[in-house]
């Protein structure tokens, strides 16, 4: 018995490969689309001066705290440094940070994209936060500080900064004390990589996680699917093995509506057809054997019994009423009984073929006819559903009459018989290659009877075509209906 097991080169690995190959590019496309969209929103939000506002808010806060943080005249900048670090941390917060709506991008990035510094009047850096070995803050130059000092609108000065693979924004905001400007500045720099750069070069925990998920998901679902499919294939294989042994009691019985279910139903149907075909073949073989025996008995034993009876009668007549003659009487009676009983046995042996499928009955009639007529036969016979018994008998009479007409009137050497089935109708054609009918009107009752029989069938149509020298053709067709 064949049982399918998931194999390495089988469905499991193919499905797993298929899942990974399909889902990986899909994932990359979806991830890229989301990233590009989020980064665009973020950078346009920052461009629409949210960085300026954050810097101004920071400068106001720092200005308020300046006396406490700086003290008077001391060089110690630790407090400034602490405030700056705390401020940068606050700006990264998802809510209330730099850009509350776009905080997702800041969380997404592995490196902090913000750097800040407190710059003195002489552009000396008092405190600095952010930046690392790969990213040195682009601190304001002496010129930039001088220009900021002279600028008219002194709330927030945007400095230039550009790079192909980063969006860079630099903002300088003057600090204000109670007596006006203190001369110091709060400087902030934002450096966000382009979405593509982020996707390709920045390592994040997401990609390995998603990749691992894909592998696990792909393997798990393919193992599950393959086990499910192979289990159903095993059912099919088991049933097919049973059928090949001639056991048609086994059915696949897969009721699901998918392709395997459809295939299973087709195979179940095929097994039923095969079973009835085998049965009718077996019946046919038995019947053919019975008929051969009957023919042999008829041609040998029955003829000899007949001849014996004739000889006994002759001898009896010759002997007359003598003692010998009367002794022959029981012998002759016995021979007659033998003839009679043999006749009965032969009738039984030529038992009715009514149990056979209709197509087989037609074929047998035609073969018997060919046997007696000596003409050759061409068949084109489809399996057709069983008809009502009376209709089958009627059609067989039509076949008999058409073949008998061929023998009596056509002189044909060959007859083509076709029994064809379409979705709704059956057609039966008997065509000969004889000399054809010159005039069928003067005939007997055969054609009329055939027409009447056929027209009594559901949707029955009868046609007889013939012209001299071109043979004759009887065409019958009728509609298939559920047996009545
Ligand atoms: N296959 C054929 N080839 C040539 N002529 C045919 C063929 N079938 C029928 N005919 C012609 O059609 C006539 C009518 O046939 P139909 O069967 O009605 O009568 P029949 O065979 O002569 O007599 P009945 O069938 O009553 O014994 C026939 O006499 C014959 O001339
Ligand atoms: Mg006839």
Structure tokens at 322: 């003598």
Q: What is the CA radius of gyration of the chain?
A: 52
Does ligand 1 have an atom closer than 6 angstroms to the CB of 474?
A: no
* pLDDT one digit per residue (tens) for the chain, 484 residues: 555 555 555 677 777 788 878 887 888 888 888 878 877 777 777 766 678 888 888 888 888 888 888 765 567 788 889 999 998 888 877 666 676 565 566 666 666 778 899 998 788 888 888 777 677 888 888 888 888 877 766 677 777 776 777 778 888 888 887 666 767 889 988 887 777 767 766 666 666 787 788 788 878 888 888 888 888 888 899 999 999 888 888 888 888 888 888 899 999 988 888 887 887 788 778 877 877 888 788 878 888 999 999 999 999 888 888 888 888 889 999 999 999 998 888 877 766 666 678 888 898 889 888 888 889 999 999 888 878 888 998 999 999 999 999 999 999 999 999 999 888 899 999 999 999 987 756 668 999 999 999 999 999 999 999 989 999 999 999 998 754 4
**pLDDT score recorded for residue 52:** 83
- 410 Cβ closer than 6 Å to some ligand 1 atom: yes
Map residue 156 onto helix, strand or coil.
coil
Residue 151 contacts residue 145 (beta carbons within 8 Å):
no
Question: Which atom of ligand 1 is closest in space to residue 438's alpha carbon?
Answer: 31
Within-domain flag for 261:
no
- The answer to whether the CB of 189 is under 6 A from ligand 1 is no
* Residue 471 Cβ < 6 Å to ligand 1: no
The pLDDT score that the predictor gives to residue 460 is: 96
Do the domain assignments include residue 88? yes
**441/453 Cα distance (integer angstroms):** 19
Strand, helix or coil for residue 210: helix
Residue 189 lies in a domain: yes
CA angle 373, 432, 375 (to 5 degrees): 25
Domain that holds residue 190: 22-205
Q: Which of 187, 205, 223 is the last residue of a domain?
A: 205
Q: What is d(CA 457, CA 152) in angstroms, rounded to the nearest whole number?
A: 108
Asked if the structure places residue 382 within a domain, the reply is yes
> How far is 189 from 159, CA to CA, in rounded Å?
9
Is 271 domain-assigned? Answer: no
CATH number of the domain to which 478 belongs: 3.30.565.10
**Ligand 1 atom 8: residue of nearest CA:** 405
Instruction: Determine the distance from the C-alpha atom of residue 112 to the mean position of all C-alpha atoms in its chain, rounded to a whole number.
Output: 51
For residue 50, what is the DSSP state?
I
- Residues lining ligand 2 (ion), CB within 5 A? 405, 446
Check residue 483 and give its pLDDT.
47
Backbone angles phi, psi at 71, to 5 degrees: 65, -170
pLDDT at 49: 65
Indicate if ligand 1 lies below 6 Å from the C-beta of 443: yes
Domain boundary pick from 160, 181, 205: 205
Burial 165-183 (b: 16+ CB within 10 A, else e): ebbebbbbbbbbeeeeebe
Please report the pLDDT score of residue 169 as a whole number: 84
Query: What span, in angstroms and rounded, lies between the C-alpha atoms of 77 and 124?
Result: 12
Would residue 6 count as lying in a domain?
Answer: no
The protein residue with its alpha carbon nearest to ligand 1, atom 5, reads 437
| Ligand minimally distant from the alpha carbon of residue 437 | 1
Q: In angstroms, rounded to a whole number, what is the distance separating the alpha carbons of residues 119 and 77?
A: 12
Q: Would 280 be classed as within a structural domain? A: no
Strand (E) or helix (H) holding 416: strand 414-421
166-177, strands of its sheet edge to edge: 125-129, 114-119, 180-193, 166-177, 157-159
Which of 205, 223, 238 terminates a domain? The answer is 205
The first and second tokens of residue 84, run together, are 């700056």
Structure tokens at 6: 């998931």
Number of domains present in the structure of the chain: 2
Q: Could you report the per-residue pLDDT of 55-74, keeping only the tens digit for each?
A: 888 888 888 888 888 765 56
Of 416, 412, 467, 407, give the one whose Cα is nearest residue 437: 467
Of residues 394, 368, 202, 218, the one with CA closest to residue 288: 368
Taking the centre of ligand 1 as the mean of its atom positions, its distance from the CA of residue 440, in whole angstroms, is 6
**Cα-based distances in Å from 193 to 35, 37, 133, 429:** 11, 14, 16, 84
Residue nearest atom 20 of ligand 1, based on CA coordinates = 444
The response to whether residue 437 sits with its C-beta less than 6 Å from ligand 1 reads yes
Q: What string of DSSP letters covers 265-325?
A: HHHHHHHHHHHHHHHHHHHHHHHHHHHHHHHHHIIIIIHHHHHHHHHHHHHHHHHTTSHHH
Domain-embedded: residue 429: yes
- CA torsion through residues 465, 470, 472, 473, sign: negative
């Amino acid at each position: 018995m064949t049982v399918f097991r998931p194999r390495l080169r089988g469905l499991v690995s193919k499905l797993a490969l298929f899942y990974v190959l399909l889902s990986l590019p899909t994932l990359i496309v979806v991830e890229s689309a989301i990233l590009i969209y989020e980064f665009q929103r973020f950078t346009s939000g920052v461009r629409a001066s949210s960085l300026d506002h954050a810097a101004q808010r920071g400068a106001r806060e720092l200005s308020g705290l300046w006396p406490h943080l700086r003290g008077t005249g001391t060089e110690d900048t630790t407090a400034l440094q602490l405030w700056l670090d705390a401020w940068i941390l606050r700006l990264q917060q998802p809510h209330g940070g730099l850009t509350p709506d776009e905080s997702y991008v800041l969380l997404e990035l592995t490196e902090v994209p913000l750097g800040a510094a407190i710059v003195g009047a002489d552009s000396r850096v008092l405190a600095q936060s952010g930046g690392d070995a790969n990213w040195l803050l682009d601190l304001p130059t002496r010129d930039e500080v001088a220009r900021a000092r002279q600028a008219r609108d002194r709330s927030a000065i945007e400095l230039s900064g550009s790079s192909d693979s980063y969006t860079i924004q630099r903002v300088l905001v003057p600090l204000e004390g109670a007596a006006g400007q203190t001369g110091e500045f709060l400087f902030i720099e934002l450096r966000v990589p382009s979405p593509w750069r982020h996707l390709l070069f920045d390592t994040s925990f997401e990609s390995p996680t998603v990749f691992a998920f894909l592998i696990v998901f792909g393997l798990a679902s393919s193992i599950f699917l393959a086990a499910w499919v192979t289990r159903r294939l095993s059912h099919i294989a088991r049933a097919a093995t049973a059928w090949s042994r001639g056991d048609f009691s086994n059915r696949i019985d897969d009721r699901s509506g998918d392709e395997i279910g459809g295939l299973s139903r087709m195979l179940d149907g095929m097994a039923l057809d095969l079973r009835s075909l085998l049965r009718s073949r077996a019946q046919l073989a038995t019947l053919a054997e019975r008929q051969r025996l009957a023919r042999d008995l008829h041609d040998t034993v029955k003829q000899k019994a007949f001849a014996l009876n004739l000889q006994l009668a002759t001898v009896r007549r010759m002997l007359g009423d003598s003692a010998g003659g009367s002794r022959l009487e029981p012998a002759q009676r016995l021979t007659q009984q033998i003839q009679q009983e043999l006749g009965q046995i032969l009738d039984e042996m030529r038992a009715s073929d009514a149990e056979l499928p209709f197509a087989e009955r037609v074929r047998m009639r035609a073969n018997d006819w060919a046997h007696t007529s000596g003409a050759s036969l061409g068949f084109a016979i489809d399996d057709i559903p069983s008809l009502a018994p009376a209709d089958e008998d009627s059609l067989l009479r039509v076949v008999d009459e058409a073949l008998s007409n061929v023998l009596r009137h056509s002189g044909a050497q060959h007859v083509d018989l076709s029994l064809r089935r379409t979705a709704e109708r059956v057609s039966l054609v008997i065509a000969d290659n004889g000399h054809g009918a010159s005039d069928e009107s003067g005939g007997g009752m055969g054609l009329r009877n055939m027409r009447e029989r056929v027209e009594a069938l559901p949707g029955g149509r009868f046609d007889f075509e013939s012209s001299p020298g071109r043979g004759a053709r009887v065409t019958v067709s009728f509609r298939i209906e559920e047996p009545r």
